[in-house]
Amino acid sequence: MKNFLKNLGIIIILIGVIILVIKTLSSGLSNAPLAIGGGLIVIGLIVQIVLGRYID
């Protein structure tokens, strides 16, 4: 469980990147996937920093 929590931020960032790649490859006109993908990347970065400090 500790190992999963250490990598949780990276997993969230990868999900955001996958959403952005899918949006780039598709021809949709909506900006919602861009906002969701960008938000997940930022949240993943924050989670990685916070959990990295408290889990040792």
Cβ atoms < 10 Å from Cβ of 40: 19
Among 11, 2, 1, smallest CA distance to 43 is for: 11
Cβ atoms < 10 Å from Cβ of 24: 12
- Cα 12 → chain centroid: 3
For 6-52, the pLDDT digits (tens) are: 899 999 999 999 999 999 999 878 899 999 999 999 999 999 999 98
- Reported pTM: 0.88
Confidence band of 5 (pLDDT split at 50, 70, 90): confident
